[in-house]
Amino acid sequence: MKLHLRVGGQSRTRDAEDLGLSARSSDQEIRQQLARYYELSKEQLRALVVDRHPDGVVVRPPAVFG
């Protein structure tokens, strides 16, 4: 499963398994592992949306429409 992170104007992709994550990992677990791996604060990831798709997970800022 691929794990795609968009934060701070950058996009990063990793295999979730490399971070000890799976499709059954909770949103909180995903955020914690991303924060550790990329040396980000938990606050930087707290407001991000975790979108689950059949082929992976996208962690991104919330979409603003209007």
Q: What is the pLDDT of residues 1-20, one digit of tens each?
A: 999 999 988 999 999 999 99
pLDDT reading at 66 higher than 80: no
pLDDT > 70: what percent of the chain?
98
- Among residues 52, 25, 54, which one has the least CA distance to residue 34? 25
* pLDDT value of position 59: 96
CB 4 within 8 Å of CB 52? no
* pLDDT value of position 65: 78
* pLDDT value of position 1: 94
Q: What is the pTM for the complete model shown?
A: 0.89
Identity of the amino acid at 53: H
**Residue 58: C-alpha distances to residues 8, 51, 61, 66 (Å):** 15, 5, 10, 22
